[in-house]
Structure 1
Amino acid sequence: MKQLFLIGIGTGNPEHLTLQAIRALNAVDVILIPRKGDGKADLAALRRDICAEVLTNPATRIVEFDLPTRDEALPDYVQRVEHWHDRIAEVWAQALAGTQGPKDTVALLVWGDPSLYDSTLRIAARLSPNPNITVIPGITSLQALTAAHAIALNDLAAPFTVTTGRQLRDNGWPTGINRIAVMLDGECSFQSLPQDNTQIWWAAYAGMPHETILSGPLLQTAPRIIETRKALRAEHGWIMDIYILDRSG
């Protein structure tokens, strides 16, 4: 049974790694790096850059593997994701089996933190035989977003909700909450909300060298975000963004 380390690497900036993460990377036998196709080649390159920056153990091996794409032909979203996770687990299993020894310790570098809006743990649970899993937390895009705008995540003595773009589109603004953080939103779902009296703080590539941030009243800022997001995606081939909405006034 292998030991599998799921290591949070922040938002791709080597300076986001904790000392615990750096020690773990230098202690494992193998680091697995997924490739997501030519359009997202930068994501694999960033993982390689992180390894080049922090690895001091010459015995550590780096093994790359190709990830499957999601089958968008399946009609139900949950079904699409479950099927995709099954296929990723199969690829992980093949990659793990391909490492040299049955007792090899293996690491996967995970964007942000493996425990927050990330499917890594759900995919790892599909592996058979189940490896021993150690999770090392990382800086999240939510932390990078609030740092970039120099704002607190919550208002004084007030709750907040973390949700997804899909939930926002399907169910609207959560009841009884004035501040929400929105992740995994490829469709700018803030367009589906009433925009009067709402403030937005938005960041793309939060915490990375090409970080881009915008903020202001949603009514005036939404068109700028949409235009900027489109241009950034065309320039880099991929985009990761996150935002906070507030309607407390």
Structure 2
Amino acid sequence: MFMTIGLLLLGMISFFLAFIWYRKLTVIDSFIEPLSERLGEPDTSGKKQYTNCDSHRWVMKNVVYGSYLEKSEGFRNFMMNRTMTGTLILSIFLGLIPVIIVYILFQSYQMIGTSLVLIILSVFVIRGPGQLEVSNLLLNWQVEQKVDSLKIGDLAYARISQKSIKNWIRNLILIGILTFIAAPWGEEIPIGLAYVFTVFLGFAYSNIFQPLAVISMPLALMVFFIIGPLILILAGLSLRSMRKKIIKDEGMIL
């Protein structure tokens, strides 16, 4: 029951957020279109760089050299000036974090079970990716500027931010549709995932671990518990980097 209700709620949240972002997008479109008529359409393929504009300077100031760098600089100065105290505090802090996180996750899983995954996904949907936040802040800043002071480079940044918001709206709609479709079978999803994982684990054990164990047990343990998961992680990171490269080539990121 929790999974079904959670999927329905996640779908409604996704559609609601898509509607909110769509309303923002209409305001953005009304701001960008007059600029496009006055300045022409910029090249957002990534082949041309627009550095001589206020938007580029805004990105450099607020994204590349943001306020978080000042915090990291303060932390580094603290560690240099008070090395012993800083090391002690840092070790205690880093030692407690995993324990607290595991305890919270364990207690949460006991209370709501696999619906915890939906809560984590809902937080991501509500918060949105970092790229979306940067795009929204940049567009808000551009709207506050004098229209006559904006150049073709500013329009390029606005177009890229506009595409970023459009992509997020599409993702929200897709998440909403998929969650509504999956909601009737919500309670069976964890069982199905567990079954798939068990079959995969059994296949790997029978076809990888056992043949290698005949040759060398340490080698089998290393492949099964270290090299195998490492390959899967690297494959996931490779797919992620390829996706980012494709998005960058299309001029979809700042």
Class of the TM-score when normalised by the shorter of the 2 chains: under 0.3
TM-score (norm 2): 0.25
Comparing both structures, which one devotes a greater share of its residues to strand? 1
Specify the structure having the higher radius of gyration (Cα).
2
Bigger relative contact order (CA 8 A; separation at least 6): 2
Comparing both structures, which one devotes a greater share of its residues to helix? 2
